[in-house]
Amino acid sequence: MRDEKIVIIGAGPTGLGAAWRLNERGYENWLLLEQAPFAGGLAASVVDEKGFTWDLGGHVQFSHYEYFDKLMDELLGPDGWLYHERESWVWLRKRFVPYPFQMNIRRLPPEDLKECLRGLVRLYRDGNSRKPANFAEWIDATFGEGIAKVFMRPYNFKVWAYPLERLGTTWVGERVAVVDLERVLCNLVDGKDDVSWGPNNTFRFPKYGGTGAVWRACAQRLPKEKQCYGTAVVRVNPHRRVLTLSDGTEVRYDYLLSTMPLDVFTSISALEDLHKAAAQLCYSSTHIFGIGLRGSPPEHLRTKCWMYFPENDNPFYRVTVFSNYSPNNVPDIRQYWSLMAEVSESPYKKVPPTPAYRIEEVIKGMLATQLIASRDDIVDVWYTRLERGYPTPTVERDSIVFEVLPALEKYGIYSRGRFGAWRYEVSNQDHSLMQGVEWVDRMFDGTEELTLWHPEIVNRTHRPAIKAN
């Protein structure tokens, strides 16, 4: 790389990761284009009219990378963070069961417990040598029919919004690790909860400004003149290596890093064959509901981080006690607290036609699941819909991505990030940032992009969130 022009589409964690690394390496010939007026992408945050802060869905910072951790400390300072133990629960049969669910089935009513145990015993007796062809089969082979029926299948349909037979297995890893039956039985006899929270299951959250504070700080530290906000890329000419922007301006590039959705990118690039393939990729939309409440959380929510909801007495798959992440997520923690709910949508899973109906369903669901005691406590409702929330890891996904991404490289185009590369298993903030960083290093040094091509390696170790000295 001598002085070739690099253009980056998107100021989410992937695009900012690339920009940060270019700047860090002292390379100057780059430009970042973002359609929104601010940085952050799906990891942005919003402060609403009543002063409540919301993420676009419950975001927590987990990390697999030392580089990411150091950058987080640098951006907000070691004192800019709050550290938490992950405390997650499943609401089922009118009670909360600690997560991981399979380790705590002793909390279930006797009939469900027996069904879960029967499935596990059968799994041990009959073995599971057959390789699962899809995620539904993977669930049965990993957890047994009982746990699959009571929790795993209904919950996963609620999250993914696609029939589980349509999802592949590569994103969960090919190895089928059977539930530890001995441990499940010991927990049952001992009457003990087996929880995953503890020193290895910590996460951090910005003290002020929600998750988006990180990415705003990142953008602020980069040269202003190399970042254009409120500018959408509307057309790409891959042969001439020219982009057209929403105001009609043309921008030339030598190398292009795109973090916009891959199917949208191919549709505006006139690469018809690649677009035919990319258009087969599936995604689900996500509805985010922020509910601001008077008073303080009830005793049973005081230390909870988030909860999973597999049943149909509510529309959400997950609710976060967002004021537990930072007291500054509400205008005055002595007077208020907050919950944030997420609801998925796809052609297989519809939602009510108007925002008002959707909000009403969420409130009814919060009452039914004992998250809130009375609707009179609600002082604030914030709502948004993300057209693209989750890149669905369908059975066909890998073959599409493995065809389209390398084919784009012939034109000097590299598509990376949550919807740029469509690899859900490496699409959290840390992975996304590192996809940008590793791409830059590859362009300069020829090093491998480990995150994109080897999720099984990068996901092997999880780094506990610990305050830097």
Ligand X SMILES: Cc1cc2nc3c(=O)[nH]c(=O)nc-3n(C[C@H](O)[C@H](O)[C@H](O)COP(=O)(O)OP(=O)(O)OC[C@H]3O[C@@H](n4cnc5c(N)ncnc54)[C@H](O)[C@@H]3O)c2cc1C
> What are the residues binding ligand X (CB under 6 A)?
9-15, 33-36, 41-43, 56-60, 232-233, 259-260, 286, 342, 386, 389, 417-420, 427-429, 432
Question: Which residue's CB is nearer to ligand X, number 143 or number 325?
Answer: 325
Q: Position of tokens 């390379």? A: 27
**CA 101 vs CA 92, 427, 451: distances in Å:** 10, 24, 29
Question: Which residue's CB is nearer to ligand X, number 33 or number 123?
Answer: 33
Residue 189 neighbours by CB under 8 Å, 6+ apart: none
> How many helical (H) and strand (E) elements, i.e. helices and strands, does the chain have?
15, 19
For residue 100, is the peptide bond before it cis, meaning its omega torsion is within 30 degrees of 0?
yes
Question: Which residue's CB is nearer to ligand X, number 71 or number 141?
Answer: 71
CB of 261 to ligand X, least distance (A): 7
Question: Which residue's CB is nearer to ligand X, number 187 or number 269?
Answer: 269
DSSP string covering 325-348? H-GGGSS-TTTEEEEEEEEEEBTT
Terminal-to-terminal C-alpha distance of the chain: 37
Q: Cα–Cα distance between 262 and 266 in angstroms, integer?
A: 6
One-letter identity of residue 293: L
CB of 39 to ligand X, least distance (A): 7
One-letter identity of residue 462: H
Closest of 321, 82, 320, 303 to residue 209, by C-alpha: 82
CB of 122 to ligand X, least distance (A): 35
Q: Which two tokens stand for residue 183?
A: 């441990």
Question: Which residue's CB is nearer to ligand X, number 277 or number 421?
Answer: 421
CB of 245 to ligand X, least distance (A): 8
Question: Which residue's CB is nearer to ligand X, number 59 or number 107?
Answer: 59
Q: Cα–Cα distance between 384 and 54 in angstroms, integer?
A: 10
Question: Which residue's CB is nearer to ligand X, number 42 or number 82?
Answer: 42
CB of 227 to ligand X, least distance (A): 11
CB of 138 to ligand X, least distance (A): 22
Residue 173, classed as helix, strand or coil, is coil
CB of 319 to ligand X, least distance (A): 12
Residue 23 neighbours by CB under 8 Å, 6+ apart: 222, 223
- Strand positions, DSSP E, 164-260: 202-206, 227-229, 233-237, 242-245, 250-252, 255-258
Residue 46, Cα to own-chain centre: how many angstroms? 17
